[in-house]
Amino acid sequence: MNGYIRSANRLIGGLGAADSMARDIRLFTSESVTKGHPDKVCDHISDAVVDACIRQDPNARVACETLVKGTETGSLIVLAGEITVAGDTPDYEQIARQAALDIGYDDLEKGMDANTCDVHVHITTQSRDIARGVDQKELEQGAGDQGLMFGFACDESERFPDLQGSYMPLSALLSLRLTSRLSKVREDGTLPWVRPDGKSQVTVRYTEPGKVEGIEKVVIATSHEDMVDGPGHDHISSVDEEAAFIRENVIEHVIRPVIPEDLLPDDPDNIIVNGTGRFVIGGPHGDAGVTGRKIIVDTYGGMGRHGGGAFSSKDPSKVDRSAAYAARWAAKHVVASGLATRCEIQLAYAIGVAEPMSVFLSCKRTGIIPDEEIQSRISQVFDFRPGAIIRDLELKKPIYSETASGGHFGREPTDEGHFSWERLDESRLRQLNPDFEA
């Protein structure tokens, strides 16, 4: 099965050939990063600009890239891109500062101080040559660029009550939830020594494609205060004590609330927290950040394919974003309707043209009817023209900052319009599969 890493066969059962059997184990790993990771800081800033522009002008055209870098003595935010928005020009500098402050970067010791950092703004208007193709009415609107986008869904997370309805690869879903939880325990004061930068990684063990047996390994890296030489931690006198304290608290307050108990690794050595021993220098001080560098984190953790275009920084006229949402929406309906246990959909576009150049669907040999028939039904139920996608998913709303970390898929839709592409439509489910039962 594409995407699976084949490891050595393991023997289970008793000793002797008569009562032993070979078992083929497959391991698959996905990662995630917190909102304070330098690249995610950039995604948050870029999407804060998108939301500000759409809030002022729902038809705004936005492409805003961000770079951040911190040092011991200062920090820097650079905005560059093309924006066309009706009315007054938004205060891009203040938007960028506030987005970084909201994440928690208010002190150079944390890796960046958004209060005092330099902000360089290099923004022009959208090219008139591009505007000719997209500034059309409603369903005549052409794609904002050429490119290809993928949507994916599977049912492997559905056997776990707390994860039902997500239709996501388990490794991707759990790694995303771990980093979201890591941010939450920092923000709500449960673990006040945690700093914004962090990562997770989850390795899932399969007995066959789509059949989860358990979690092989869990990895967490979290930036943190200096507890050895810093104030407020008199009970910690060495790096080893610091590492043990962090490990114990991360397992208790981050890993156990997220990973289902029956999936946790049996071997404690398979839970790795801060593998280098310390993570004091983090955020933009530790690494420069750039918008759009975490596209696999944003989607399916590598389980489903990716067309290469980032989502953050772009308004919905850019099909890199809107068509990827539509492909996920359609793929999720295929799996939720019971037509297949896995589904991947590819859409391709030409700039200025409304109709997709191609639509391709594969259920990885899990469909109850041929892929060609499922694809035919998809084309009848879903309209993949950019204008129709924007209309059906109500994408002309300031809903994008919420997507900048925690993943764009497998999230709960809200009454305010966030993650509309995750909402299942019962009428569409029945159109796809007349035998569907809610």
Catalytic choice (43, 315, 320, 344): 320
Active site residue 39: yes
Active-site residue, selected from the candidate residues 26, 28, 35, 37: 37
What are 215's two structure tokens?
């979690």
Q: By the 8 A CB rule, do 382 and 330 touch?
A: yes
Q: Return d(Cα 371, Cα 200) in angstroms, integer.
A: 35
Does residue 82 have an active-site annotation?
Answer: yes
Is 293 annotated as catalytic? Answer: yes
Dist CA 374 CA 362 (whole Å): 9
Is 412 considered catalytic here?
A: no
Catalytic residue among 69, 224, 318, 364: 318
- Please say if 320 is a catalytic residue: yes
Q: Is 120 a catalytic residue?
A: no
Out of 195, 293, 328, 385, pick the active-site residue.
Answer: 293
Q: Which of 80, 288, 350, 388 is catalytic?
A: 288
- Pick the closest to residue 226 from 311, 388, 107, 372 (CA basis): 107
Tell me whether residue 65 is one of the annotated catalytic residues. Answer: yes
Backbone phi and psi for residue 61, each to the nearest 5 degrees, phi listed first: -110, 120
Catalytic residue of the set 26, 35, 40, 195: 40
Q: Which of 199, 333, 377, 418 is catalytic?
A: 199
* Distance of alpha carbon 121 from alpha carbon 183, whole angstroms: 28
**Annotated active-site residue in 69, 181, 195, 294:** 294
> For this structure, is 416 an active site residue?
no
Annotated active-site residue in 314, 333, 364, 428: 314
Q: Which residue from 9, 437, 367, 432 is spatially nearest to 154, judged by alpha carbons?
A: 367
User: What is the phi/psi pair of residue 272, to 5°?
Assistant: -115, 120
Q: Is 262 a catalytic residue?
A: no
Alpha carbons 388 and 26: distance in angstroms, whole number:
40
Q: Which of 28, 150, 279, 409 is catalytic?
A: 279
Pick the catalytic residue from 26, 28, 31, 39: 39
**By C-alpha distance, which of 273, 257, 278 is closest to 217?**
273
Catalytic, 332? Answer no
Q: Residue 87, exposed/middle/buried by CB under 10 A (0-12, 13-18, 19+)?
A: exposed
The one catalytic residue in 31, 65, 155, 344 is: 65
Active site includes 199?
yes
Residue 40 among the catalytic residues: yes
User: Could you give the residue numbers annotated as active site?
Assistant: 37, 39-40, 65, 82, 199, 279, 287-288, 293-294, 314, 318, 320
